[in-house]
Amino acid sequence: MDLELRHLKVVCAIAQHGSVTRAAAHLGLAQPALTAQLNRIERALGGPLFERDHRGARPTALGELVLARARVVLPAIADLRQEAARLTSTSVPTIRYRIGSTGNSMISGLMRRLSETRPDTSVTTRASWSAVELTELVAAGKLDFAIVGVCGDAPPPHGLEWRPVAVDAVGVLLADDHPLAGGEEVDLADLAAAQWAAAPGDGCFDDCFAAACARAGFTPEPMYETDLRVCLDLVAAGQAVALCQPTFREQATVRGYPFAGAPLRWRHLLGWHPEAPADAVADQVHEYAREAYRDSLRYSPAYGGWLARHPAFGA
């Protein structure tokens, strides 16, 4: 394996936070995924970089050497990218932001903020149900950023630098005349006899949903997999209930409700290639994405109130 800048960032994050677990949370990765990545880095360098035990992670002599070099190389590369961005901004009339998304409520707010940054900004978007597809497009240089969702503690697709934007409790979309509608949240067990609908997606969410239903004491009916428009029609007609992000904009006849106890979570992540020009503006784009998420809560005030009482969720 060739050593890359992202590997140096991983080593620095572990040293900074003093443990693989805390570094994984900072980087938006599952702890086993970061441990596997560290093991690959150590094999590439020929020895352990950290002594790890119940007290945390402390650099070895080899680790100190790598950290010393990384603390020189990473700032130098960051300076190079900033200088290159300043140079190209004077010679290229348009700054482009090409953003892929698996579908969420923050995209419009993010587009508006990027467009308002300066008048010569061009923002284009691409939608896909597949986080893997968007990751590959960013890695190939065809997109600058990807905003995707992953369930629970599942790791994001490999190959990009990922930063968490927000964590949502997965909810259910109900028609206003549904017997369970009108409260603050819905108990998953009360939907044991429901017919379910969902838009397509990849990752482990199907398994997580089946496991959550099993914990609630039932096996769900086979799910209708269809596009969002048909999901809305099925729910409004009372033919199904649909899994949803509770930030879903409230409609005239349907509304999203979090599940009681939050048995399912959805992590929104911003990803980019650490060696692409996007790295120079990633901090600003990440902050805009968090602001856009918070703005999106105005379309679902009931969920905003729920988040205020559940501080482990939200941005």
Asked if the domains 5-73 and 94-315 are classified in one and the same CATH topology, the answer is no
Residue 189's pLDDT band (cuts 50, 70, 90): very high
The pLDDT tens digits of the residues spanning 208-241 come to 888 888 998 988 887 777 777 888 888 888 888 8
Instruction: Say if residue 177's pLDDT is above 80.
Output: yes
Distance CA 208, CA 51 (A): 34
Query: 260: closest CA among 142, 171, 132, 133?
Result: 171
Tokens coding 278 = 């996007």
Q: Which CATH number fits domain 94-315: 3.20.20.110, 3.40.190.290, 2.60.40.1120, 3.30.2230.10?
A: 3.40.190.290
Q: Provide the whole-model pTM.
A: 0.67
Each domain of the chain, given as residue ranges in start order, spans 5-73, 94-315
The pLDDT tens digits of the residues spanning 115-173 come to 887 667 788 888 887 888 888 888 888 899 999 888 877 778 888 899 999 888 888 88
pLDDT of residue 93: 44
pLDDT of residue 24: 83
The pLDDT tens digits of the residues spanning 267-303 come to 889 999 988 888 888 898 999 999 988 888 877 777 7
Instruction: Quote the percentage of the chain above a pLDDT of 90.
Output: 10
CATH class of 5-73: mainly alpha
Distance CA 6, CA 159 (A): 9
